[in-house]
Amino acid sequence: MAKKVFSFKALETDAEVKFLKREVRKTNTNISTVIRQLIRNAMEGKDVDDQTEILKAKLERLEKISLSAVKNASYAKYIALANYSKLVEGDQSEIEKMENSAVEFIKEEMEEI
């Protein structure tokens, strides 16, 4: 099978140049080899689905971490307010008002999420 040489001109963005350089370093090959592999992958439909699944899994994990962080922060604020209210000398109704406002705050925060 005879090899054919193709050449083309394209406007390259910084992102494209960085991507090609990164792929060349990663595979320890040259730009032609990287481009051939990208073409083969596109023809076979490889990597795109795998990358999409990996990104979806990472996004789901980040979402769980974010929700957990918000819940923990809201809980920590509620505990801090409750502890502060116990330390306050004075009217019991003021303490209850602070605790109720903390509970309302948490409800509002969780509804926003």
Q: Which residues contact 35 (CB under 8 A, 6 or more apart)?
A: 20
CA-angle at 58, arms to 53 and 60, nearest 5°: 95
Predicted TM-score (pTM) of this structure:
0.37
Q: Which two tokens stand for residue 26?
A: 């990663």
pLDDT tens, N- to C-terminus, the chain (113 residues) = 567 766 666 667 788 888 888 888 888 888 888 888 888 877 776 666 677 777 888 889 888 888 888 888 888 787 777 777 666 655 667 667 777 877 787 777 777 66
